Amino acid sequence: MSGVYRRVLDDIAGVFMFVEYKIEQRGPGVVDYSVVLIVEVDGRLETVRVYEGAHGENELHRHTREGGKQAAEVFDRGTLVEGMRAAIEKIERDHEAIIEAWSQR
């Protein structure tokens, strides 16, 4: 089973969170996910940060305006579902500060 959804975090500033996940019913639960913070800049959608579980670990990729996607860092040592929840909470709580730091790079 898979799921995808988009949440508007700031309609005026054009800030969105995209969440995609895959669940195995007869297994460990969440087997993969991505949580992406996106901001609209000059009519283009720009990726600011990606949290994902593609390699079986909870990783984050910072993005910079000039250098794009940076190397992965493990951000949570829990299960993939715990990491997915932590990523969603982090983006909901801190998206303004994350975008501010991104815009400075």
Give the three-state DSSP class for 76: strand
User: What per-residue confidence (pLDDT) applies to 51?
Assistant: 98
Pairwise CA distance, residues 44 & 40, whole Å: 5
Model pLDDT, residue 29: 84
Predicted confidence at residue 99, as pLDDT, reads 96
Paired tokens of 83: 């990491």
Q: Give the pLDDT score at 24.
A: 87
Positions in the chain whose pLDDT score sits under 50: none
**Global pTM?**
0.92
**Residue written as token pair 């969170």:** 17
Specify the pLDDT at position 86.
Answer: 97
Contacts of 47 (CB under 8 A, 6+ apart): 36, 37, 38, 63, 69
